[in-house]
Amino acid sequence: MWRHIFLLLALLPYIQATQTITCTNGFTLVGNKCLKLFTTPTSRRNASKTCAEYTGNLVTIQNQEENDALASFVGDGVKSVWLGLYCFGGTTGCLWDDASGSIEGFTSFVYDSNDAYNIYKCSTYKVTGSWSKKWFCGDCSYDLRPFVCQIPTTYEDDCALNFNGNCYLPSENFFSSQVIGIDSARQWCLNNCADLVSIHSANELRLIQNYYKSKDHESILIGAVTNSGKSFLWTDGSTWDYSSVVGSGQSSGTCVKLALKTSGSRVKGSLYVTKCEESNYYMCKRPAGISCVGEPAPSGGAPPVTPNCNEFLMNAGSFSSPNYPEAYSDGESCTYGLGTLGSQRIRVTFSNIVVKDQEDSIRIYDGDSVESPLALIITGRHSEPVYYESSTNRVFVTYNSVDNYDTDIARTGFKADFVTIV
């Protein structure tokens, strides 16, 4: 199995380019962060809202080097700025806005933030004067101060949405802005060296929401699959490490959508389970600063599919009958081995099925060979996709066409996409 995994990694459809670290949206690289100064005094709340519009937060400080660098960046023209630090009570009760934790590792307060006389919870940073580079507590509601926003660095790339080392590609970028099901959406992403978007932070969620503010979409399909809402998995293989809210009262299904508007029990920014067979807008995500080796999806129709006849495929991908979408030949005999890791399962979607009824067939076995239980036989023409979910981490598919002379029958075969589910 490890041989197949290494082979899969070797065949990834992009190559790492010479990556140059950069900042976007007019931010300046300071150390390992991107900063931007806003000199007009405002409340702490308004300052945070402005940073959120740039998919960032008020500046944070983790060590003495960053503390010194902030004063140099702001310069002598500003006396003090807001920090992205809120103190609920006590030193350990001061938490950074970017979810990086408390100030236990480093602090520059002029006094204990838990002092009895201190009634203010929002933190400020003194830029000039005898208290330069020291932190104070300010009134969150009535103090007006300049501020510095912070966003993560990324890599140079010509994509419009470039954030934290990733490019985000909304489906409006493709010819097929709406698709039926996760498999079709994921195919468009894969052909652009991407996968359906995964979400790992509040700022990443904010980036997606900011883009769709001007759109009228109720929701978008994202790269998550589930077993009836009990557990979740990102299709790009990343860790489910951001506590996204999954709405209650989910419908049956294995796909997941991100709500872009509040409607009934669905709250903007929350996730909810949906059926995969619905029509969806979607967003793709790929590493920034890469060169795509594979051919991009064509602008005038469906993306190409590799037959992968008699091959083994891992985790996710696509395969088709030989010569698809053109007519296949007589006497075809293909096998397709599908696998995923551990206790995970496989979901296969067969679409655009046009095979000679009864004589030519697609057979799906719940296991790793024809000796495994036969789960499904597909033959004839099907206007709707046919789905199959395995009970194990292996699926074996065979495709056979017989010799015949019905040359007037346009037999285009099929295409199939598969993803890992839990």
**Per-residue pLDDT reduced to its tens digit, 94-117:** 889 888 888 888 999 987 655 544
The pLDDT of residue 295 is 46
Q: How many whole angstroms separate alpha carbon 222 and alpha carbon 199?
A: 9
The pLDDT of residue 228 is 58
Amino acid at 239: T
Burial class (CB in 10 A: 0-12, 13-18, 19+), 374: middle
Q: How many whole angstroms separate alpha carbon 291 and alpha carbon 152?
A: 22
Which residues are CB-contacts of 43 (< 8 A; sequence separation ≥ 6)?
140, 141, 142, 143, 144
Intervals of CATH 3.10.100.10 along the chain: 24-152, 158-292
The pLDDT of residue 15 is 47
- pLDDT < 70 regions, the chain: 1-18, 89-92, 112-119, 227-230, 243-252, 265, 293-307, 342-343, 403-410, 422
Which residues are CB-contacts of 148 (< 8 A; sequence separation ≥ 6)?
35, 36, 37, 38, 58, 59, 70, 73, 74, 81, 82
Intervals of CATH 2.60.120.290 along the chain: 311-421
CATH architecture, domain 311-421: Sandwich (2.60)
Cα–Cα distances (Å) from 78 to 121, 147, 363, in that order, read 22, 10, 72
Q: How many whole angstroms separate alpha carbon 211 and alpha carbon 214?
A: 7
pTM (two decimals): 0.68
First to last CA, the chain: 19
| Segment (H or E) for 211 | helix 202-211
Residue given tokens 């991908």 in the structure block: 317
CATH class of segment(s) 24-152 = alpha beta
The pLDDT of residue 407 is 54
Evaluated on CA atoms 263, 264, 267, 270, the torsion sign reads negative
**R_g of the chain computed on alpha carbons:** 26
Residues 159, 168 contacting (CB under 8 angstroms)? yes
Q: Could you tell me which residues are beta bridge partners of residue 398?
A: 335, 363
Closest by CA position to 55, among listed 204, 242, 160: 204
The pLDDT of residue 102 is 87
CATH class of segment(s) 158-292 = alpha beta
Q: Quick one: DSSP state of residue 263?
A: B
Q: Is 312 helix (H, G, I), strand (E, B) or coil?
A: strand
The alpha-helical segments, DSSP class H, found in 34-144 are 44-53, 64-74
Q: How many whole angstroms separate alpha carbon 296 and alpha carbon 135?
A: 51
Amino acid at 40: T
